[in-house]
Amino acid sequence: MEFGDSPQEAAFRRRARDWLDVTKPGLPAFSTSDQYWAKAADWHQALYDAGFFGLSWPQEYGGHGLPAVYDVILDEELAAAGAPSRPGLGYLVRGFLRHASDDVNRRFLPGIISGRDRWCQGFSEPEAGSDLASLRTSAERDGDRWIISGHKIWTSYSDSADWCLLLARTDATVPRHRGLTAFAVPMHQPGVRQQPITMINGVTREFGEVFFDGATARHADMIGPPGEGWALAMTVVSHEREPGELGYVARYAKAVSELVQLVRQDPGRYPAEDVASVGWAVVEAEMLRVHACRRLSERLDGISPGPGGSVDKLLMTEADQAVGHAALAVSGFASGGGDDEARRSGDTGPASDADGDSWLRMYLYSRAASVMGGTSEIQRNVVATRVLGLPVA
């Protein structure tokens, strides 16, 4: 695989860079405050209107039909500019493209890609997270609609969503993996109640739990055939775990570069173990970058991720938490440099008070990486049984 830009790719990179030079999203690069989520929809639509969103998705639904390498170029330029990443909706789009009918895709994908319609994903439940097949949210047929009852949790962007890609049990008489069906459920209707979940870093608008009590979905808005919800869910989560799909590689590279610069500016202020944590973050970010290049090469050859996506998720988690740990060390909070007295005096170590707080929030957010999107324990089980072919204990 050739990693240098072709003339067409170089021209696209210049156009993206020029646009970013004059476009100020007014948002942090990472999800560290509610402000990020309040303006995320505007950023999505700005990217789309400028021709920088949906690059590798089909043109008939509002995409550009370009090779996936253009997504990588955009991710690199967004990270270099300190801008937020492109919204991570690829896993939803891939789920629709593979499992939904042409009619359903024509009705829903243009709104998803353009950002006119906001979506959330209703999979996990309080007692069905990693063991998703045990979910208990039910949908019962009533003429041309389905009546939905249940409870979803860790539902990203639920407070701003117009629609939910919901997984519900439609047949309790068959094996649990075969009785699930996916629906597009309107969020603005009686029978849908939302409750935000406050995260450890102070963000309240990223996650929520949603209660369905007699909510309805049209039969025509079923995503895929009845009973095929598990297959759709596996498509969604396999793409959800791709680091390249979410632009993580470029963001981590940018973060570790900034951490290295902080250490180099005044290396004598850092204990050896803090310098080592930054060094390890560099290693983890580079391992993820090289792995993502391999995945990109496979994708350009038409190879889908499959269970190997669990390897992606594990590497992404390790990189996320290594960068978070290094950020905590450099911010001064880990060694006590971030206490109240130090902050009041302005002596919070090499980073400013505002920067130090941002690094701390990055660290706090990273702690969830080994849980969200499927726990690391479950990912290791998938790798052991479905990738390496080891026997189930």
- Sequence-distant (6+) residues with CB within 8 A of 166 are 122, 137, 148, 152, 182, 183, 184, 185, 212, 217
17 to 12, 54, 70, 247: CA distances (angstroms): 9, 18, 13, 16
Distance CA 122, CA 104 (A): 18
SS3 85: coil
240 is catalytic: yes
What are the phi and psi torsion angles at 174 (to 5°)? -110, 165
Burial of 120 (0-12, 13-18, 19+ CB in 10 A): buried
Residue 370 carries which DSSP code? G
Question: β-strands 138-142, 145-152: how paired?
Answer: antiparallel
What does the buried/exposed string (b/e) look like for 67-106 if buried means 16 or more CB atoms within 10 Å of the residue's CB?
A: ebbbbbbbbbbbbebebbbbbebbbbbbbbeebbeeebbe
Q: Which helix (H) or strand (E) holds 211?
A: strand 207-218
Residue tagged active-site, from 76, 125, 240, 245: 240
Distance CA 125, CA 318 (A): 25
Burial of 388 (0-12, 13-18, 19+ CB in 10 A): exposed
Q: What are 213's strand-pairing partners? A: 149
SS3 182: strand
**Whether 75 contacts 17, CB under 8 Å:** no
A 10 A CB-CB count for 263 gives 18
Catalytic residue annotation: 240
